[in-house]
Structure 1
Amino acid sequence: MAITLSALLAAPALKLQRVGTSPVTDVPVQWVAVTELEDPQPFLSGGEVVLTTGLRQKSATSQRNFVKRVHASGALAVGFGTGLSHEKVPSAFLDQADELGLPVFRVPYETPFIAIGKIVADSLSEEHYARLENLLKGHQVLASALLGGGGLPQLLRELAALLRTDVVLSQYGTRLFATGSGAEQDREWHRVPVATGLKDRCTLAIAEPYERDAIVAYAQSLISVELSNQARRRASERAVVGQLLQDVVRGTIAGTDAAARLGSAGIDTVRRQCVVIADVATGQRRALRTLPLPGKHDDVVTAILDDRLVIAVPESDGESLSREISEYLHGAGFTAKVGFGGGYAQPSGLRWSYFEARESLTRGQAVNRPDRLSLTSLLMASEDVPLADLASEALDPVAAFDERHGAELMLTLEKYLALNGSVAAVADVLQLHRNTVRYRLQQIVDLTGYDPSITADRVHLYLALNVRGLR
């Protein structure tokens, strides 16, 4: 630690003598400034001991002004060198210092100013070296904690011990880890951002009071690297499991082969499994590849399939996990909806649960419960049925016409099919004349070649609309 003013005055080799009545404190001396300027204030930053021989202080007024300016700069004390221009500390100088509470000490002729500066500089060097030594030890402690198997939790525990306070790491608005009680209310926190390359609002919060320490910057770097590595691993694992689930869903693999491969991925199909699907706005889907789940669910099997986050969990956890994921995503700023399927055993059951979960998303609620699978979903379970092509062939001309003319033909068709082909009901819902509805239906016939008033064509258009909604 830097030498204090009282310790400096007590150094026997310097033979310094306190004069005046101002009290001496144990505040560390930041530097020694030697000056003979009448106004040294512009060159002082506070915390110094100012040394002078009073060479230019010929009058009582100049002496008082010098003391006032030194005091205004925040200096700790003034050392007055005697034996040159003054045999003793001038009374006006001393009176002004006592009035302001600025300590004054006499520096005898035989004590060079440089000797005082050297003692202060040596103490500052020792303090700086000690800080560097402690910083290097702290670096080793944090790196060992992270690489020694304890991961981020152990690193943060060690950081809290080094800072002698609590820390909280948050990502996507959710707490990943906290030391102590972790209660953030009724406490002051210093928050520092952690860069991960993601729009995840990752923050390290440190409970006040704590001594600002360079170890925090090193901890930020380690946390950043570890979270980035975790994100890359998560994206890779989700891509691999997503490919496996895609093969199961499409029926490319089945039976014992599918069960074995799912088991190696951590999905036990002997037990009844439930599929949970989380979907977000198109512009946010990229984040699902690396998004961490809330802490207690970090070990569940996750995948990316059709740009959606897919989670396989035991049947009993399906609904509760869906609600937690929904709250988590909305809290993290995502526009999200979550659907889950029923619980079934065997790979075929997992496939069935997936289609139930995907169809439940069409209801558009924050959390969507499973229901009976529609004919559309059952047909889509088979890759042999080209429903996507059917939907494009039937409805793309209608969608293109709507985009060019704002004709709302697609909306009219949806209402017509939903209202069992009643022109009157459609006109009432859309607040149109019945002839306008009939005109729009004829436009659909002209564009697609399918007549919604004919049962076979109506089924075709109904399937196309539903496939369009599921994609």
Structure 2
Amino acid sequence: MPGPAAVEPGPSVGSLVRDTGLSLAAGERAAGAPVRWVHITELPDPTPWLSGGELVLTTGIQLRSAREQRAFVRRLAKHGLAGLGFGIGFDHATLPEALVTEARKLEFPLFEVPYRMPFIAITERAFTQIVNAGYETLRRGAEIHRRMERLVLEERGLDEVVRALATATGGAVCVLDPRGDTIASSAPWRAFPDDALAELRAQVAGQSSSGAEATSTFEPDHAALRGRALALPVATRGGQVPQAWL
């Protein structure tokens, strides 16, 4: 089965850091998750304007205290952002210790951007890769379909199918029963946040008991999943009531 580098739909925090000659200060395990976009901000809380999956770049002008720095990282991680690039040489000579400590605690990707490197050097590289990945994503769609079909025909089991799908899409995948309990799951890079998964379980249970609407695909309400995830009903052939949710 291909590894992350072969299936990423675009740049990751890890690949951008490597390509620009920088290094991660935290979050190595989650650095393979795809970067959906790059956002430059100096707001203490940019999350209301972000949908998740973005790489945030900041110089931390508004983040003067350790408390503010820790809270900033927590907000980004909870909102499902891809990582944080912190520009030094402005208000901060080095990466603030509180920022690094909190990022390591949450396994949230963090890297230092030196004063000599303009943010545009990172955004241009990321945007070029994101655009070029569009065609590759279409090509991979057909490949993933063939792979899933082969696993099913070979009767490899639900766990193997879910693991292959998560690896192929670069995301977290879980299968829930109509009550919202987990049947199978896989998260090669970053798992669902606990509160997001709890809310998704409740939504699935509600959809499953709502009659005709139970067969409708829906988008999870939680901020960390909104715009980045779908819940799809899985019914038996000819059946109307979902036996599970993917």
Given the two structures, how large is their TM-score scaled by the length of structure 2? 0.53
For this pair of structures, how many residues does the alignment match? 155
Contact 1:52 1:80 in 2 (8 A): yes
Give the aligned partner of residue 65 of structure 1: 71
Q: What letter matches 1:3 in structure 2?
A: P
The alpha-carbon distance between structure 1 residues 163 and 31, as it changes in their structure 2 partners (threshold 3 A), is same
Determine helix, strand or coil for the equivalent of 1:64: helix
Partner of 1:122 in structure 2?
Answer: 128
Distance 1:161 1:97 in 2: 33
Equivalent residue, structure 2, for 1:84 = 90
Instruction: Give the CA deviation at 1:8.
Output: 1.2
Distance 1:128 1:59, change over 3 A: same
Which SS does the other structure have where 1:164 is aligned?
Answer: helix
In the TM superposition, what are the counterparts of 1:9-158 in structure 2 within 5 Å?
9-11=17-19, 14-20=20-26, 23=29, 25-132=31-138, 134=139
Match of 2:146 among 143, 158, 163: 163
Query: Hey, what's the Cα distance between the residues in 2 that align with 1:28 and 1:110?
Result: 26
Q: Which runs of 5+ in 2 are unaligned?
A: 1-8, 170-237, 239-246
Cα deviation for residue 4 of structure 1 reads 2.4
Distance 1:83-1:129 versus aligned 2 partners, 3 A rule: same
CA distance in 1, matches of 2:15, 2:137: 21
Change (3 A) 1:9 1:24: farther
Matched, 1:3 2:11: yes
Write out per-residue CA displacement over residues 324-381 of structure 1, whole angstroms, 9 at most, x where no aligned residue. xxxxxxxx9xxxxxxxxxxxxxxxxxxxxxxxxxxxxxxxxxxxxxxxxxxxxxxxxx
Mapped partners of 2:147, 2:116: distance in 1: 46
Tell me the C-alpha RMSD between the 2 structures: 3.5
Against the structure 1 CA distance between its residues 130 and 88, is the aligned structure 2 distance closer, same or farther, given a 3 Å change threshold? same
How many angstroms does 1:180 deviate by?
5.4
SS in 2 for 1:32: strand
1:209, distance to aligned residue in structure 2 (A): 5.7
Q: Structure 1 residues 116 and 59 mapped into 2: Cα distance closer, same or farther (>3 Å)?
A: same
Relative to structure 1, is the Cα distance of residues 131 and 71 closer, same or farther in structure 2, using a 3 angstrom cutoff?
closer
SS at match of 2:103: helix
Q: Specify which structure has the bigger relative contact order, considering alpha-carbon pairs within 8 angstroms and separated by 6 or more residues.
A: 2
Residue 71 of structure 1 aligns to which amino acid in structure 2? A
SS in 2 for 1:28: coil
Cα distance in 2 for partners of 1:21, 1:31 equals 18
The alpha-carbon deviation at position 39 of structure 1 amounts to 1.0
Is the 8 Å Cα contact of residues 86 and 95 (structure 2) preserved in structure 1? yes
Instruction: Please tell me the residue identity of whatever aligns with 1:67.
Output: V
Kindly provide the CA deviation profile for residues 81-139 of structure 1, in whole angstroms up to 9, marking residues without a partner as x: 0111111111122222222221211001121112211111111111102345x39xx9x
Alpha-carbon shift at residue 27 of structure 1 (Å): 1.9
CA distance in 1, matches of 2:106, 2:113: 21
Aligned partners of 2:36 and 2:54 also within 8 Å: yes
Alpha carbons of structure 1 residues 165 and 43: separation in structure 2 relative to 1, 3 Å: same
TM-score (norm 1): 0.29
Call closer, same or farther: CA 1:166–1:46 in 2, change over 3 Å: same
Structure 1 residue 165: deviation in Å? 4.2
Write out per-residue CA displacement over residues 28-61 of structure 1, whole angstroms, 9 at most, x where no aligned residue.
Answer: 2222111111111212222221111001112222
Cα gap change, 1:209/1:75 in structure 2, threshold over 3 Å: closer, same or farther? closer
The answer to whether the Cα contact below 8 Å between 2:31 and 2:109 also exists between their aligned partners in 1 is no
3-state SS, counterpart of residue 10 of structure 1:
helix
Give 1 or 2: higher helix fraction: 1
- Letter in structure 1 aligned against 2:47: Q
Measured after TM superposition, the shift of residue 24 of structure 1 is: 5.0
Distance 1:165 1:42, change over 3 A: same
- Contact preservation (8 Å) 1:35, 1:50: yes
Structure 1: give runs of 5+ residues left out of the alignment. 139-158, 168-178, 189-207, 213-331, 333-471
CA contact (8 A) 1:19 1:106 kept: yes
